Structure 1
Amino acid sequence: MRIGELSRRTGVSARSLRYYEEQGLLTSSRSDTGQRHYSGAAVQRVTLIRQLFDAGMSSRVIATVLPCVDIPGDLGVAEETFTAMMRERDRIDADIARLIETREALDVLIRANSRHRAELSTAPGTGGPAALTL
């Protein structure tokens, strides 16, 4: 199938498909006129690539993981893939830890702001309920 058909069947833009090829994630053959042609298996491949991107993996990490799909019986490839996946998991764990710290700092600010707003709403002359009393 040509690039337009693969794009329609996967919902991935032709530009993204060309990028996947540039990164070594997807392959095609070329016609005499230079048009890309993909096998039927390309639909599943693109779907997997999208899932990996959606999971937050970079094209570099995806390129490291995909050989395990392509050559499932090769122990060396399986070991390299395992190492890459563990590295990616460690990166995600570190990102989660940073996000938790950021959320905790934001919670402190939210509590302080809530106290401040409560004080302002009861202070005379601030337009809050206390300001309405004569």
Structure 2
Amino acid sequence: MRIGELSERTGTSRRLLRYYEEQELIVSNRRSNGYRDYDERFVDRVVQIRGLLDAGLPTRIIKQILPCLDKPRIIHFADATPEMIATLEHERDRMTERIRFLSRNRDALSDYLDAVRDDNRPDTAMADALTSSR
């Protein structure tokens, strides 16, 4: 598929897709006319990359762990350095904290919506109006 189709299917700008290619996160073949041609598997790959970037991982780390995402049951890094392991642990802990923060905000928003809905119920509004008119 061409870059425009990959862009549409993933909601990712063409410019960002070219950046992912520069960072060697995805690859394309070149057609005879010079256009980029992407394999179907890159639709999921781009979505994965975006999720990891949204979680705060830098592209250099994403590049290292992408092979593991293709075959999660065969995760093994013979060349994993202590620094890389520490970096991944740090990033995992940051994600966990962010998840906790997002969950707390989601719960607060849900509580707020519940309260607003309760206050805007017709029967509650009518009962409040009757009480205040007495």
Query: Normalising TM by the smaller chain, what interval?
Result: 0.5 to 0.7
- Where relative contact order (Cα < 8 A, 6+ residues apart) is larger, the structure is 2
1:76 partner SS: coil
In structure 1, the partner of 2:59 is 59
For structure 1, the 5+ residue unaligned runs are 97-134
For structure 2, the 5+ residue unaligned runs are 98-134
1:31 corresponds to 2:31? yes
Partners of 1:65 and 1:84 within 8 A in 2: no
Shift of 1:35: 0.5
In structure 1, the partner of 2:80 is 80
CA distance in 1, matches of 2:84, 2:53: 15
Task: Supply the RMSD in Å over aligned alpha carbons.
Answer: 3.0
Task: Report % sequence identity.
Answer: 46
Partners of 1:64 and 1:84 within 8 A in 2: no
One-letter code aligned to 2:35: Q
Partners of 2:57 and 2:91 within 8 A in 1: no
Per the normalisation by structure 2, the TM-score is 0.59
Question: 82-91 vs 1-10, which deviates more?
Answer: 82-91
CA distance in 2, matches of 1:61, 1:76: 13
Per the normalisation by structure 1, the TM-score is 0.59
Partners of 1:65 and 1:81 within 8 A in 2: no
Larger CA Rg, structure 1 vs 2 = 1
In structure 1, the partner of 2:110 is none
